[in-house]
């Protein structure tokens, strides 16, 4: 049942974003696992479109925040303004108070603003002027980021990257997809035509189902072997954190459900490793870091399934 719904979501997105089914599935899995998503690539490969499409297809309330170097924390979280009529400060919620946030070019903002967003992501609530306000449910942040070697950016520090469940890279489309893109209509025009494939209640049900996917101890053995290897191997700068292990598990559950299974298999774990591990594990001894895919392939290759 859930599988058909999810397949439908994936199919709809694929009509807009061409030739990127794997990335689409990963990002859907990320959202189903209640994680935040970071899309990293050079400008113009469709990062923002993907975020838009995701929100539209899931039928969620959507806000886009363009991050710039002058963006202040209050611009995201909201401000209290003195209300002359009531004689009191009144809180004007910022754009973060919506279900899906597209944080575009998150690395353009100052670290201060970035951390305001990341704290809100982590805690699912906003504390402003001594008052704590909960964020809506569900709450997704899809952040896009330009590659860090561009001038005038503040790449997210590694510790902050950990807050995103997955990081995906879109990459250039292949020739066929690009031709279709060139021949077809403007992608942005397609967006309003999208109809939500899931009702909010259905989404909540799918998310609950994800949590109920069975994880056997044999799979946990494998997960632990992977994490353990990353910690002991000299190939990596630092090993995967317990939070990363939890992220792997949550994402693998979502993937299994998307595959129509009620139990997690090693294959599910292997499928989501590139998304989850890429921004958490860095290859040591090289001044230019191998991209995420190679790190995860390395990891999967090196650890036998127990």
Q: Does 68 bind other proteins (CB under 8 A)?
A: yes
The residue from 157, 176, 184, 260 that contacts other proteins (CB under 8 A) is: 157
Considering only the stretches 56-64, 75-83, 192-200, 257-265, report the one whose residues sit in contact with other proteins under the rule CB under 8 A: 257-265
Q: Does 208 bind other proteins (CB under 8 A)?
A: no
The residue from 265, 277, 281, 295 that contacts other proteins (CB under 8 A) is: 265
Q: Does 211 bind other proteins (CB under 8 A)?
A: no
Q: Does 178 bind other proteins (CB under 8 A)?
A: no
Min CB(31)–other proteins separation in Å: 24
The residue from 70, 83, 122, 174 that contacts other proteins (CB under 8 A) is: 70
Nearest to other proteins of 5, 150 (CB atom): 150
State the DSSP string of the chain.
-HHHHHHHHHHHHHHHSTT-HHHHHHHHHHHHTT--EEEE--TTSSHHHHHHHHHHHHT--EEEEE--TT--HHHHHEEEEEETTTTEEEEEE-TTSSSEEEEETGGGS-HHHHHHHHHHHHHTEEEETTEEEEPPSS-EEEEEE--TTSTT--PPPHHHHTTSSEEE---PPPHHHHHHHHHS--HHHHGGG---SS-HHHHHHHHHHHHTSB--HHHHHHHHHHHHHHHH-TTBSS---HHHHHHHHHHHHHHHHHTT-SB--HHHHHHHHHHHHTTT--BTT-SSPPPHHHHHHHHHHHS---
Question: How many residues sit in the footprint of other proteins (CB under 8 A)?
Answer: 41
Footprint (CB under 8 A) of other proteins, residues 85-104: none
Considering only the stretches 56-64, 91-99, 150-158, 160-168, report the one whose residues sit in contact with other proteins under the rule CB under 8 A: 150-158
Q: Does 82 bind other proteins (CB under 8 A)?
A: no
Footprint (CB under 8 A) of other proteins, residues 219-238: 219, 231-234, 236, 238
Residues binding other proteins (CB under 8 A)? 68-70, 110, 112, 148-149, 151-152, 154-155, 157-158, 214, 216, 218-219, 231-234, 236, 238-239, 262-267, 270, 284-285, 287, 300-306
């Amino acid at each position: 049942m859930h599988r058909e719904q999810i397949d439908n979501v994936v199919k709809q997105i694929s009509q807009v974003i061409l030739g990127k089914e794997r990335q689409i599935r990963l990002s859907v899995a990320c959202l189903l696992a209640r994680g935040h998503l970071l899309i990293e690539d050079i400008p113009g490969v469709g990062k923002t479109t993907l975020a838009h499409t995701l929100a539209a297809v899931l039928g969620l309330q959507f806000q886009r925040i363009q991050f710039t170097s002058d963006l202040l924390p209050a611009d995201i979280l909201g401000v209290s303004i003195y209300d002359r009529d009531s004689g009191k400060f009144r809180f004007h919620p910022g754009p973060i108070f919506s279900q899906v946030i597209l944080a575009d070019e998150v690395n353009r903002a100052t670290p201060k603003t970035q951390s305001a967003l990341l704290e809100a992501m982590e805690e699912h609530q906003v504390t402003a002027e001594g008052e704590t306000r909960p964020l809506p449910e569900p709450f997704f942040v899809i952040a896009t980021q330009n590659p860090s070697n561009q001038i005038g950016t503040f790449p997210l520090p590694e510790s902050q990257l950990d807050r995103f469940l997955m990081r995906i890279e879109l990459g250039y489309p292949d020739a066929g997809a690009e031709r279709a893109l060139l021949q077809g209509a403007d992608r942005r025009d397609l967006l309003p035509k999208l109809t939500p494939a899931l009702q909010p209640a259905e989404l909540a049900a799918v998310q609950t189902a994800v949590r109920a996917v069975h994880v056997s101890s044999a799979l946990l053995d494998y997960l632990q072997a992977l994490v353990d290897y990353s910690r002991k191997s000299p190939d990596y700068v630092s090993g995967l954190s317990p939070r990363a292990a939890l992220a792997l598990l949550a994402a693998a559950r979502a993937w299994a459900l998307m595959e129509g299974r009620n139990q997690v298999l090693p294959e599910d774990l292997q499928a989501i490793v590139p998304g989850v591990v890429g921004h958490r594990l860095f290859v040591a001894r090289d001044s230019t870091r191998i991209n995420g895919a190679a790190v995860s392939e390395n990891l999967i290759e090196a650890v036998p399934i127990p």
